[in-house]
Amino acid sequence: MRLKLIQNIKKDVQNWQNGITIKSYGLKWKDYIPSDLSIDCVHDEKCITDYLKNRYYNSGEIDLYIKALQKKLNIPEIKKDLESLVRKKFPNKIINIFITTFSRAPYSVVDNYFYLRYRPQKKDLKKSETNIYHELMHFLFHKYYWDTCKDAGLNNEKIHILKESLTALLNPILKQRKLSLDVGYSAHQKIRARLEKLWEKEKDFDKFLEKAIKIVK
């Protein structure tokens, strides 16, 4: 597994325009448009491109953020942590990380990419590292466990809930690495708490998942 951090304003604009039309996990992403920006501007490619250039890109701050994060990331350690957690290996592929200035950060396992939310403060690099752990755990889940959940009778909606809730298991690792904890979505807090308690008793991920599926059902 290799990670490639990418600055691409067209991808960022695309994420803004797609994001404002989507509701997920109890959130309406259009509510995250800043007060100095209209929804009409987001729909207009030139308007939102000019806005992002003036606010983020022309100053070079996105590039500086990428360089700072590249220096801080310990990719072999992240890979080892996640593979030890679920006891599965990452494919030897490049995963592209597109920086986005919008709050929503989608991913595609098929196309080997995910979006990473830009965080302007140096102290927030730890949150960015946590976000990377979070997204990469999704990649392992999709590759090795999505079909397992489907075969167990979970529909796509419940599989997504389980996938997002499972990132609660990252917190002991993140605490050890002195990174920000993975909080998850408000709608999943009860399930996350139950999964954390289950994980304390059952550290074999395959056996744990069998019981976790029953919780989500």
pLDDT higher at 26 or 32: 32
Query: Is pLDDT at 189 greater than 90 in this prediction?
Result: yes
Read off the pLDDT of each residue in 12-28 and give the average, rounded to a whole number.
Answer: 89
Query: Is pLDDT at 28 greater than 90 in this prediction?
Result: no
Which pLDDT belongs to residue 169? 98
Query: Is pLDDT at 96 greater than 70 in this prediction?
Result: yes
Residue 198's pLDDT band (boundaries 50, 70, 90)? very high
How far is the C-alpha of 124 from the C-alpha of 147, rounded, in Å?
Answer: 35
46-50, 92-96, 120-124, 190-194: least confident range: 120-124
Closest to 180 measured CA to CA, from 120, 134, 116, 111: 134
Closest to 50 measured CA to CA, from 18, 13, 15, 19: 13
Which pLDDT belongs to residue 11? 98
Residue 83's pLDDT band (boundaries 50, 70, 90)? very high
Domain boundaries, the chain: 1-144, 145-217
Query: Is pLDDT at 121 greater than 90 in this prediction?
Result: no
* Neighbour-count burial of 10, counting CB atoms closer than 10 A to its CB (0-12 exposed, 13-18 middle, 19+ buried): exposed
Instruction: Tell me what percent of the residues of the chain surpass a pLDDT of 70.
Output: 99
Read off the pLDDT of each residue in 184-191 and give the average, rounded to a whole number.
Answer: 93
DSSP string, 27-86: EEGGGGS-TTS-HHHHHSHHHHHHHHIIIIITTTHHHHHHHHHHHH--HHHHHHHHHHHH
Which pLDDT belongs to residue 70? 95
Read off the pLDDT of each residue in 72-101 and give the average, rounded to a whole number.
Answer: 97
pLDDT tens for each residue of 34-77: 999 999 999 999 999 999 999 999 999 999 999 999 999 999 99
Query: Is pLDDT at 123 greater than 70 in this prediction?
Result: no
Which pLDDT belongs to residue 65? 95
